[in-house]
Amino acid sequence: MPIAAHSYRGRPLNHWGELLRRHWNYALGKRLDWLCRTDLNLVQAVGVKRGKHPQEVDARSTSIQCFNCEKSIVKELSIPVHDCPNGGVSVDRD
């Protein structure tokens, strides 16, 4: 009798292997899903560990607002560098 045709309790071995694979993927997905649902943000955790305090900012208008003087400087999106004449700051927008 070939190994592939062997059955355990009426079901072939490849069926049990498939169930084991599904269970492992489900358990692994639950672990990763739990990590995403926690309030712990990896950036904040690493920042605090290194003595920095990262803050969340609103994503709207961040590419036109100067982080130093907080004034809005209108520019085209094709310009990759932020030059602020008021605060004297020149940084990459990306």
How far apart CA 55 and CA 12 sit, in angstroms, is 55
Give per-residue pLDDT as tens, 11-29. Answer: 666 777 888 888 887 777 7
Whether the per-residue pLDDT at 3 is higher than 60: the answer is: no
pLDDT number for residue 40? 55
How far apart CA 84 and CA 86 sit, in angstroms, is 5
Mean pLDDT of 26-36: 65
Mean pLDDT of 54-75: 76
The pTM of the whole model exceeds 0.75: no
